[in-house]
Structures are given as C-alpha cells and as structure tokens.
Structure 1
C-alpha cells in the first residue's frame, strides 16, 4: 500500500473512476475526449472550453495556519492552467465556496485570493455559490469552473519522437498531495509552524505564458494530481526526461518517510508545467518563456511507450 493510499487517497482507484466516467459519458461528437485537461464544444468557428477543479484538502492547512488568501489563487490557477493546456484563453469563472459554519474571515480572504488570481489570469469572476453545510463540510471547500475560448485546440495528437520536452518551474507543492502532507504533520514529522508559508504558497498561474507560445508548441501538460503520469494524456510515445534538483520542501517531505518513487507519483517535484516542442522551435520558445518563467530542458519524446524519469538522485523511475 502506497503512502498516499495510507493517507486516504488511492490514485489507482481514482484513475479507475476517471476511466469509468470517461467511457460512460464519452461521445464521438466531442472535439476533446472526456478525461483530458478540459472539455470543449464547437460553436461556429470557435471552441468553447470548460473545466472545473478545486483546492482540495489544502484548505484544512489554510484554516490551521490562518493563511487562507492563497487558496483563492489556487482555485483560479488549477482551472486556467488546465484550459490553457488545450489552447483556450480564459474568459469567465464562477466559484463554489462551501462552509461548515459562518466564517467571515474565510469568505473575505478567499474572495481576495480569487480576485488576485482572476486579475493575473485576465479572467472575469461572473458569479458563484456560497453555501453553509454543517455535517457535510469540515472547514471549507473551494472549487471553480472556468469558461474559455479557442480558435483551435491542441491535445498532443501531433507529438512525435524527437520532440523536445520542456519544464516550467513550480511555486512549490501547488494544490495536490496535501492529504499525505497533513498525515506527516499529524505524525509530527513536519513542523507546520516552521513550514507554513512554504506549504501554503499558491499554485503558479501559467496561462498567460502558455498562450504566448501556443502557436509554437505542440502540447502542454499541467502537473497536478498523479504528477508525471499526466503526461500519458498527451502521447502514447515514450517520454524520457531528467528532472532538476527540486526545492527544499520536496526533500523535506521525502525525508519525512515518503519513498523516492512515491514522491514522483504524487508531487510535481518543482516542475508545474510540461511543454512539447518541435526541436527546431525550441530556442524560440525558451527565449519567449524565459521572460516570465524559469525553463528547464527535460528530455525527449522517443519511440516506445511509458514515462522514464531520471531523478536528481540519478535514480531511474518508470511509470
């Protein structure tokens, strides 16, 4: 049993749910298969793109520390990043905030975070829902839905062997793996008071950077739940990458008792977004992105199947 499963999150079971839902709801009329980074419909000569996502159990640490505002940014980021992966420009967002009880401070700080995130990503918050649900919610739960527009979509169909794989630095853990982090905190293996600011850093918003190079890349993958297994959404070819040394927060979690492989199954390990680029356009894409992002050349797409990761410890992991 994996560390994450012991913490209450079974990734294999979750993937099974995703597979069932995708097969049950799938339609040949959809321009993007259910289960990708976003859903879409075609309206005239444009694509309307939608996505929904939430902050997860990071909210429980936010309540414990009082560092609540970043979770509003997280909520925006988790959505605009995903629709940008298929080439959509975010237009409008609605939020859903569920509370265990009246929480004036939480409402105020979450809204401030939502406003900061929406301003940064150029998306308009057009409404939402706030509910008080004692007996159902513990603390607060926060999610958003975003609508975007695209002239064309990129889902990875033209990714091929020889293409370059680039990575954009993350802002830390972002919004995934917090059930495992909380377990380590509860066991006394991580000092929350010491690491609170680092653990509550908001998810980096990549949508503007992605859209600035959209015409020059083949595909993009937001590294969230399930970590680098997300790359299988892009291509069935083999992906061979070497990761840079991660920020200290990831080393802390691993040294608290999480296996090296489990770290790469759960966390982004310092890479929040992965791009697939034709070799001939690599330099141009890096030049543009380097104005706003820290960019790493991670590796190549190769003949074969699976994901091969060489870690900063020179261990080779296969997924």
Structure 2
C-alpha cells in the first residue's frame, strides 16, 4: 500500500486491478492486434504495416498550471507522455490528435497550451493532425488535456530479448514530470510545500526522449518510461531481476517532497527520482549508446539484469529497496 498517495486519492493497487480488468475485457475485440493492452503502446497490423497507438494526459498537474499561470509546459507534458511511451516499444512517432476540455471558453489558456503542444510536437517529429476542444461546465473544473498518438513500428521492442548480464542505462528526468501531482497538491494544500518557492521546478515539462532513443534504437532491447508507478514499470519488459544500484542523486525538488512527509521508500514507488527513462542493452553496446544519448541528455549506467526476479534499487540515502 502506498499510504501517502492513497491518502491523496490515488491507490495504485486499485488502479492496477482496474487496468487488469479492462485489459481482459477489451481483448475480446482483437482481430488485427499484434501487441495488446499492458505494454507501453498497443500495436495493430494493417496490410503488413505495424502501427502503434497510445493515449495519455497531463493529469492533475493542470490544476497547478492554472494556479501558477504557467500553462505552456503542460502542452509538452501531454506530447511527452505519449511519444515517450511510443518509443518504448520501438515505434517511430508520426502524428497525434489532442483533446482539451474546459469549464468555460478561454482563448488565452488554449493559445498557451497549444504553443506547448506545437513546440514539443516539432521537437519530436510529430504532426498534430487534429483534435477536439470541449466546453463542459459542471463536468470540468478548470481544464483537462490529453492526446492520442500514432507511430510506425519497423522492429518491435518488447523486452523479450533481455537477458542476465544486460546493462540498464538511465536518462535524466527534467524533475517531477507529470506524475504524482495529486500527492503534491495535497502537500501544498496542507502547507508542507511552499508552492510559490517551488512552482518553477514543479511546472517543468516532461523531458522528450524521442531524438536520443531513435538514434540508438537498433541497440536497445527494451525501454521503460518511468511515469506513474515509477520503477515498477520495468515489469512490463522483463520478469528477471533488475538491480538498480547506481542511481544518481535526485534533484532537490524530490528531497523537498520527501521532507514534507512522504516516506523514503514511497518516493521510489511514486516518482521518477531523477530518471525519466531506462534503456536495456547488451554490455558491448554500452559505450556507443552512452556517447550518443549524452548529446541530448545526461545518462548514467544505473544497473544490470540478473538471474531471479524483482526490482532492487539503492537509493540516494544508500538504502536498498525492493520495489
């Protein structure tokens, strides 16, 4: 049980059970599905072409965006939450559609959010081919933002080729990204985090990892975007034991969240703790991959795959946790 997150209204165990039930139900519709629910993206095959689809949103970070007036970054958040998941299964992102729902019309809000969407889409090589704007008073309080993204798959990367001895590389995050904000907002409301002091850090957009990963895609056996549920996402790739014993020091914003009352172990179950993406590859490819990705983002060799099962993390306080 993730106590502080549950107290904030998000019970990860219950969410997992809902996801499992949905996955079982929708599988009855599969006729052209190559990769169904439960991984980072769904994949269908049409006339020999594999197409990947993913949908995600910004979540309750939108509430703090309104409060702070820092609106443009959530546009990048929305794009990143989709394209970063697409590339985890070896898909090249191509296009997306956006959905923005508001409690009342606001040209200024929409303009700023769209600016972020457009900048992030251009950086990721993605076309925004359409979308929907809905005015929903009584249903929406403020605004909600989500996207659905499409990619093409030349070689599917599901993690099935991961073996003991493989190395895990971590790509640095831009901070909190866009997960765990129900918990963060509760801490702000309780006066445990001074929002005015930390708003610039908290509102930093989710990092875009498309360019570095596409450059090293042939070397990657699997990739895990560290979002909701944090490092537990690695279980989507492999059931082997993954030891992350060389994690870097996280950014100060994570330490501030922890100081506000979140248990140390829970931090590594909710937040990315400075690592936004993990890459799995053979030892002989580590130097080449590190050299390439570091042109775009700081990267670290953070662990290895071993015989057995489970996810083991050595934290910045030198504690060893089983996630």
The bucket for the TM-score relative to the shorter chain is over 0.9
- How far the C-alpha of 1:293 sits from its partner, in A, is 1.4
Identify which of 163, 173, 177 aligns with 1:174.
177
Equivalent residue, structure 1, for 2:60:
57
Identify which of 199, 203, 211 aligns with 1:200.
203
Cα distance in 2 for partners of 1:235, 1:31 equals 18
Taking structure 1 as the reference length, what is the TM-score of the superposition? 0.98
Over aligned residue pairs, what C-alpha RMSD do you find? Answer: 1.0
Cα distance in 2 for partners of 1:148, 1:194 equals 39
Taking structure 2 as the reference length, what is the TM-score of the superposition? 0.97
Aligned residue for 1:31, secondary structure, equals strand
Q: Please show how residues 225-244 of structure 1 align to structure 2 within 5 Å.
A: 225-242=228-245, 243-244=247-248
Aligned residue for 1:202, secondary structure, equals coil
- Please list every run of 5 or more consecutive structure 2 residues that lacks an aligned counterpart in the other structure: none
Equivalent residue, structure 1, for 2:317:
313
Cα distance in 1 for partners of 2:149, 2:161 equals 26
Aligned residue for 1:161, secondary structure, equals coil
Does residue 79 in structure 1 map to residue 82 in structure 2?
yes
Cα distance in 1 for partners of 2:67, 2:20 equals 35
Aligned residue for 2:163, secondary structure, equals coil
Cα distance in 1 for partners of 2:50, 2:155 equals 7
Q: Please show how residues 115-130 of structure 1 align to structure 2 within 5 Å.
A: 115-130=118-133
- How far the C-alpha of 1:150 sits from its partner, in A, is 1.5
Render the CA deviation track for 1:290-310: whole Å, top value 9, x for unaligned. Answer: 111111101100111110111
Cα distance in 2 for partners of 1:172, 1:202 equals 8
- How far the C-alpha of 1:30 sits from its partner, in A, is 2.5
- How far the C-alpha of 1:44 sits from its partner, in A, is 3.1
Q: Please show how residues 89-238 of structure 1 align to structure 2 within 5 Å.
A: 89-238=92-241
Structure 1 segments of 4+ aligned residues over 2 angstroms from their partners: 26-30, 43-46
- Please list every run of 5 or more consecutive structure 1 residues that lacks an aligned counterpart in the other structure: none
Aligned residues: 319
Cα distance in 2 for partners of 1:143, 1:33 equals 21
Does residue 281 in structure 1 map to residue 285 in structure 2?
yes
Quick check: 1:45–1:151 contact (8 Å CA) kept in 2?
A: no
- How far the C-alpha of 1:104 sits from its partner, in A, is 2.0
Aligned residue for 1:213, secondary structure, equals helix
Cα distance in 2 for partners of 1:270, 1:138 equals 31
Quick check: 2:124–2:208 contact (8 Å CA) kept in 1?
A: yes
Identify which of 293, 298, 304 aligns with 2:302.
298
